[in-house]
Amino acid sequence: MNRRKHQTTVTFLGVILLLMALATGCRKAATPRSWQLTELDSPTTASLRGLSVVSDSVAWASGSGGTVLRTVDGGATWTLIPMPHAEALDFRDVQAFNDQTALLMTAGAPARFYRTANGGATWQITYETTASGAFFDGMAFWDTRRGVAMSDPVDGHFLLLRTEDGGRSWQEIPTDQIATPLENEGGFAASGTSIAVAPGGLAAFGTSKARILRSEDWGHTWQAVNVPIRTGAPSQGVFSIAFWGDRGRGVLTGGDYAADSLRTATAAYTTDGGKSWLPAAVMPHGFCSAVTGHPRISAEWLAVGTTGCSHSCDGGITWTPVSTMGFHTVQNAPGSNIAYSTGSNGRLARWIFK
């Protein structure tokens, strides 16, 4: 046999055996240890797409009709927080630092950011724009001071914001420091997780053209990277990104929300901080609007979407369906086995990894 052909065959078989071993190992691991889901009582029927989990006991959620919720008892009860004159606003993302301090982001016009430091008793508008095309998709924070937010393009350029004072003020990032958008390229505000950050100044956001824009300098400059995710229609692209710790591991999910049962090209993973991405070997259940990683176990990931939820125990290489319940977003509590999810019609849920 030709030596080069023999080496290629052996290498190919090795890859296949490795993927089979990973998939088998995941199935074995998922039997005694998996994500267990409990639906929670909700005081609203709003569509909830924003979620910020501060701890096992404290979480904030937000959504349509100016809806803002908070729990301080681990999801046993959720309190509706009044937002005067906000009935027409859709809060697609929320970022909380504790049970008193939180930020809200609206999608569409008017594009606004709000901040409270007293548990929602009062709110201040900290950024507002009426620019045509402004539609904010998400925000993410490295710590209680430094954060970034992204909008669909305005005047042919992505509109990106930075803050260094916990969202008390926001500054627009110069457009000449951001990769130019492709024709009809934008983001998705389905879960508030289309943008993510990681220690050391890493940030990335996903787009409808199967690209991520990536920064390594705390959001000052951004370069584009192609990713293996479904694209070609306005309903397709990258919907969620998450990184794990400071080791460069990450997962992105998406697909087609208009054909949410399709399992082709809905997830990818990285081991180099998003410089390159590989498609999952076994895809999740279908369209996934959000993904989160277990904060203490780098291999464990949970993805949710409108047709169900899937679990990976090998860093996003292979996925196993765990529920047919639909959600918009999911997020882990820091350092915990607890995660929360939100969805349509006020749906609230808690996950426990056991």
Q: How many angstroms separate the CA atoms of 300 and 323, rounded?
A: 16
> What pLDDT is attached to residue 4?
35
> What pLDDT is attached to residue 21?
40
Is the CA virtual torsion 208, 178, 224, 201 positive or negative? negative
> What pLDDT is attached to residue 211?
98
Structure-derived torsion over alpha carbons of residues 77, 83, 53, 101, reported in degrees to the nearest 10: -110
The b-or-e profile of 305-317 (16+ CB within 10 A means b, else e) is bbbbbbbbbbbbb
> What pLDDT is attached to residue 246?
81
> What pLDDT is attached to residue 247?
77
> What pLDDT is attached to residue 19?
43
> What pLDDT is attached to residue 354?
87
- What stretches in the chain show pLDDT beneath 70? 1-32
> What pLDDT is attached to residue 29?
43
> What pLDDT is attached to residue 319?
98
> What pLDDT is attached to residue 122?
96
| 260 token code pair | 């949410």
> What pLDDT is attached to residue 12?
40
> What pLDDT is attached to residue 108?
84
